[in-house]
Amino acid sequence: MLQIIYLFMEKQNIIDLEQEKKEILKRYRSLLRACRRTLEKGDKLLIRKAFDIALEAHKDMRRKSGEPYIYHPIAVAHICAEEIGLGTTSVVCALLHDVVEDTDLTLDDIRGLFGEKEAKIIDGLTKISGVFDQGSSQQAENFRKMLLTLSDDVRVILIKLADRLHNMRTLDSMQRDKQLKIASETLYLYAPLAHRLGLNAIKTELEDLGLKYTEPDVYHSIQQKLKESEPERKKFIAKFIVPIKEILEEQGMKSTIIGRPKSIYSINTKIKTKGVTFEEIFDLFAIRIIIDTPLETEKADCWRVYSIVTDFYLPSPDRLRDWISTPKANGYESLHATVMGPEGKWVEVQIRSLRMDELAEKGYAAHWKYKDSANESQLDEWIRKIREVLENPEENAMEFLDDFKLNLFAEEIFAFTPKGEIKTLPKNSTALDFAFDIHTKVGEKCIGAKVNHKLVPLSYKLKSGDQVEVLTSSKQKPKEDWLGFVVTARAKSKIKAALREEKRKISKDGKAMLERKFNNLKIDFNPNNINQLANYFKLPSSLELFYRIAMGNIDVKHLKDFYQENGKITHKSGTIKKHESAPSLEQMVTAARGKTDLLVIGENLQKIDYKLSPCCNPIPGDDVFGFITINEGIKIHRVNCPNAIQLLSNYAYRVVKAKWTSQELISFLAGIKITGIDEVGIVNNITKIISNELNVNMRSISFDTNDGTFDGTIMVFVQDTDHLTELMKKLKKVNGVLNVTRIDGKD
């Protein structure tokens, strides 16, 4: 009987393998179809060669889902060809992107089989494959290496984004903690990077998938609501389009008009930032009008379409965005207008040419197709700046990462030099940021600026359209407080470098002063004695010791209490004890984790020092994780905490899984925000429900009224999320209450 079962299983396995071979071939053919647009003579053979090598190299490997590993490189190559629009070289490198790291093949083998260009790209991809796997400074350092490849060959980053997109699409088979880590990295860095490189479609999908795994309930709730409102939306879009399409056809303009819903991620962002419900978001979708028109007339034709749209629908003058005259820094060009559509609903209309649409969806890769486009220089200029910042070898990797991140997704402003040259800067940039954008030396010597011919300080925040004249002085030097108001990564990096250089110069004077004093005291001026002295004053380095002496923080007169004995420096009060170093973070993490990876939050955890983090105020029922801090033990954060994405992506090795036990006897503080119409007795009705119906204790309550409306904040003690949800449902039913939301942190 057993033999029959084994034979059956063996036969079943053979059938599966045959099926897999057919599936691999099917996917390979689909890849070739996706490459068809860019194929030149000999390209097909190159792709086949790369495919055969990858197939052989990965033949015994399987993904977490159980599928053959080769599915992954084929899928990454397909994304490169179909969704980013890359050519044969990128497809070959995508097929081989894991072979050097995971198999016996070397870079020299790749160089011999394909060439120097392919070997260089695969080398770049191999170096960054484990960007987020070690300690925070190491992962930041690896990310810096990844960005350095931007100006060497931007294809490394584009293939890496395709790799990340496929990993996100297949994240279901991973464990929950791995899903959280990968999704957080994606939201923290990869989605903003896709945005900056103009890959709009990929950025949107990465954001949606990131939300799906960090906040699954929120994601599925919005997805369901979009599905339910789809028929009504389609009807409205059809009604909106009809008159515009007729006129465009009459005027002989070829066009495609589509209605696109907002992404789930952007809807959720709006719900959070505006404090509104899904039902209260008026711009759930945008109408996109894409016209097929020659390059030389596309700008004029886009404005013609705008004129046609506004003949039928009244525009909102405050909501016109002209990114055709001044494209975004990532090359995005489009004309956005918000108009009052049928049934009194505001609708966003995006007007662009076919060329602009391809640039918007495929970003940097599409620029190669439109080499004559003047706006290509926008992205090249950004990449040049990144290179410049990255090449500063002494920049702290984590600081750089945070500064760089700020500039990835920032909204942009446009400012002008006195000669009319346009400069694109992140929103909230100051006159000093503008000065550093012109040139490092201009920034370092800047003493102020004239904005629109009026004198302003260095910290003045610029607005779009400002004309800026930078004022300099040869006596000016960068100052520490400048770091408090500049926002661009370039300015921060250059100021820090200048301050370090200044510190080094001052330290030379301090070193000379100390050497003279040592000679007077007949103490040998050697590294050992200098380090002993630094230890005595509890300073991290000899450089810091020299600097403090030069600045007068350490008076050399006090050194008369030191003398030399047996070649070693000694203090009159006794031998200098070596300053003991604190335990390393790795030791602390190991000690805090103990032997288990799971932290159970409950009543009997006297041994583990943990705190509920005030930045998100978690309560039982919330999806949470523990974060090992340096001074405050373990802090519990909600997965949707404002700081969670940064913590999970940058410091994953300091995160512990956490879950709640039963907490019936314990109450937790939670905040509720209520808005509505100010009616007589409304506060009384609200407090009655809280205290009488649900027996909830309040810690604080505050209400503010303004011309017939009110805003209220109530801090209450609840047992868990179900208890809080029940309370919020009841409060929504009170007459006059329009909106009830949970507050993330404590007031």
**Does any domain span residue 264?**
yes
Among candidate residues 192, 222, 252, the one where a domain is terminated: 222
**Does any domain span residue 726?**
yes
Instruction: Looking at 594-720, list the stretches that DSSP marks H as alpha helix, in order from N- to C-terminal side.
Output: 644-650, 682-688
Torsion over CA: 432, 435, 436, 440 (sign): negative
**Together in a domain, 46 and 169:** yes
**Does any domain span residue 337?**
yes
**Does any domain span residue 492?**
no
The CATH code of the domain that includes 232 is 3.30.460.10
**What is the layout of strands, in order, in the sheet containing 454-456?**
454-456, 446-451, 468-472
Among candidate residues 660, 676, 707, the one where a domain is terminated: 660
The parent domain of residue 206 ranges over 18-222
- Is the predicted pLDDT of residue 284 greater than 70, yes or no? yes
CA distance readout (Å), 671 to 577, 640, 700: 51, 15, 9
Cα 249 to its chain centre, rounded Å, is 43
**Together in a domain, 654 and 686:** no
- pLDDT, tens only, 560-614: 667 666 666 766 665 444 444 445 545 555 555 454 444 565 444 434 567 788 8
Residue 120: per-residue pLDDT: 83
- How many domains are there within the chain? 6
* Active-site choice (102, 177, 283, 726): 102
**Together in a domain, 554 and 505:** yes
- Whether 744 is catalytic is no
CA distance readout (Å), 575 to 244, 536, 661: 89, 10, 54
Average pLDDT over residues 528-538: 76
**Together in a domain, 211 and 337:** no
**Together in a domain, 77 and 194:** yes
**Together in a domain, 80 and 162:** yes
Task: Using DSSP, state whether 747 is helix, strand or coil.
Answer: coil
Q: Which two tokens stand for residue 644?
A: 């969670």
**Together in a domain, 680 and 604:** no
Task: Using DSSP, state whether 336 is helix, strand or coil.
Answer: strand
Residue 386: per-residue pLDDT: 63
**Does any domain span residue 263?**
yes
- pLDDT, tens only, 445-495: 998 888 888 888 888 999 888 888 998 888 888 888 888 889 888 888 888
**Does any domain span residue 390?**
yes
The CATH code of the domain that includes 429 is 3.10.20.30
**Which residues are within 8 A (CB) of 136 and not within 5 positions of it... i.e. 6 or more apart?**
398, 650, 651, 653, 654
**Which residues are within 8 A (CB) of 455 and not within 5 positions of it... i.e. 6 or more apart?**
448, 449
- Whether 357 is catalytic is no
Among candidate residues 222, 239, 265, the one where a domain is terminated: 222
Q: Which two tokens stand for residue 527?
A: 């590294």
CA proximity to 76, closest of 98, 95, 48, 102: 95
**Together in a domain, 183 and 35:** yes
**Does any domain span residue 414?**
yes
Average pLDDT over residues 397-402: 56
**Together in a domain, 401 and 253:** no
**Does any domain span residue 512?**
yes
Entry field: residues in the chain: 747
- pLDDT, tens only, 712-721: 888 888 777 8
The CATH code of the domain that includes 180 is 1.10.3210.10
- Is the predicted pLDDT of residue 616 greater than 90, yes or no? no
**Which residues are within 8 A (CB) of 494 and not within 5 positions of it... i.e. 6 or more apart?**
436, 440, 443, 444, 478
- pLDDT, tens only, 514-532: 888 777 777 777 777 777 7
- Is the predicted pLDDT of residue 369 greater than 90, yes or no? no
**Together in a domain, 615 and 647:** yes
Q: Are 402 and 435 in contact, with CB atoms under 8 Å apart?
A: no
- Is the predicted pLDDT of residue 499 greater than 60, yes or no? yes
- pLDDT, tens only, 84-131: 888 888 899 998 888 887 777 888 888 888 888 888 888 877 765 544
Most confident of the following: 2-6, 12-16, 680-684: 680-684
**Torsion angle defined by CA atoms of residues 616, 617, 621 and 625, in that order, rounded to the nearest 10 degrees:** 60
**Together in a domain, 188 and 261:** no
* Active-site choice (18, 52, 56, 101): 101
CA proximity to 560, closest of 520, 529, 533: 520
**Which residues are within 8 A (CB) of 693 and not within 5 positions of it... i.e. 6 or more apart?**
730
**Together in a domain, 361 and 388:** no
Residue 207: per-residue pLDDT: 94
Higher local confidence (pLDDT), 438 or 596: 438
